């Protein structure tokens, strides 16, 4: 199967994404985000989206671009944080938000990719996180039942990918991308470097090609820093 596409716009067209879609979006803050796919979604105008991502970056970059145009109906996240638009829409009730403890968030996605429907965790017991959920006792301690997360689509970003869809990530940009690639019914990979099949050492592959449906080489990846802190220049 030919998986290589021209760009993000063609990827969205071939994937068949429509209004109301659920999308797993890789990245942590501004690190490892599929920025070309996010920009293409904004151009396409797809709305009422359910987006599952650790957070929403900043107001003028990444998922903040989709919040600005109100294309996202619901966010499943661990952190409101640095995005003023996200925070404002959450507080005024115009954006539905499901906040999940970060470790639970990661495991829910991993479980979804592994075909595990749910698991018990101590995180959130006795808090609003556990409201409406089953709580059971194991070895004298309470645990809350959390359901796995899967989505119609997964948008991930990798450092290198070959024409079959095998992916290699670079350092902390690996973050949520591998588990999301496995938990999407249709996974689209945006890579910094697209190489020929056989150019990636099989021992270094993190996401095998079986999880990837479409792949393209992104353009002009911007390595932005979310919070830059410097010290005065010494004299």
The domain limits of the chain are: 8-117+150-217
First and final C-alpha spacing in the chain: 61
Q: Is the pLDDT reported for residue 101 higher than 90?
A: yes
Query: Tokens representing 85?
Result: 């638009």
Q: What percent of the chain has pLDDT over 70?
A: 98
The span from the CA of 216 to the CA of 193, in Å, is: 9
Handedness of CA 165, 168, 170, 175 (dihedral sign): positive
Cα-Cα-Cα-Cα torsion 105, 122, 90, 50, nearest 10 degrees, comes to: 30
User: Facing residues of 161 across strands?
Assistant: 167, 194
Q: How confident is the model at residue 235 (pLDDT cuts 50, 70, 90)?
A: low
The span from the CA of 167 to the CA of 114, in Å, is: 18
Pick the CATH number of 8-117+150-217 from 3.40.1080.10, 3.30.565.10, 3.40.50.300, 3.20.20.80: 3.40.1080.10
Give a three-class secondary structure readout of 198-232.
Answer: CCCCHHHCCECHHHCCEEEECCCCCCCCCCCCCCC
Q: Is the pLDDT reported for residue 234 higher than 90?
A: no
| Each residue's pLDDT tens digit, 174-198 | 999 999 999 999 999 999 999 999 9
Q: Is the pLDDT reported for residue 60 higher than 90?
A: no
Local structure of 12: helix, strand or coil: helix
């Amino acid at each position: 199967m030919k998986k290589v596409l021209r760009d993000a716009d063609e990827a969205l067209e071939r994937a068949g994404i429509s209004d109301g879609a659920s999308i797993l979006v890789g990245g942590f803050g501004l690190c490892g985000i599929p920025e070309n796919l996010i920009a293409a979604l904004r151009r396409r105008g797809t709305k009422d989206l359910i987006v599952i991502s650790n957070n929403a970056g900043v107001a003028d970059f990444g998922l903040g671009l989709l919040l600005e145009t109100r294309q996202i109906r619901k966010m499943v996240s661990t952190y409101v944080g640095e995005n003023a638009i996200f925070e404002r829409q959450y507080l005024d009730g115009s954006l539905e938000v499901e906040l999940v403890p970060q470790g639970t968030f990661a495991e829910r996605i991993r479980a979804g990719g592994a075909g595990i429907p749910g698991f018990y965790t101590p995180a959130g017991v006795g808090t609003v996180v556990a409201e409406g959920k089953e709580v059971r006792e194991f070895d004298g301690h309470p645990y809350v039942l959390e359901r796995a997360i899967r989505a119609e689509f997964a948008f991930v970003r990798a450092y290198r990918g070959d024409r079959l869809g095998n992916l290699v990530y670079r350092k902390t940009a690996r973050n949520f991308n591998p588990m999301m690639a496995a938990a999407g019914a249709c996974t689209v990979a945006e890579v910094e470097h697209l190489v020929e099949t056989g150019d990636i050492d099989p021992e270094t592959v993190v996401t095998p090609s079986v999880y990837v449906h479409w792949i393209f080489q992104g353009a002009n990846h911007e390595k932005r820093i979310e919070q830059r802190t410097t010290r005065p220049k010494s004299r």
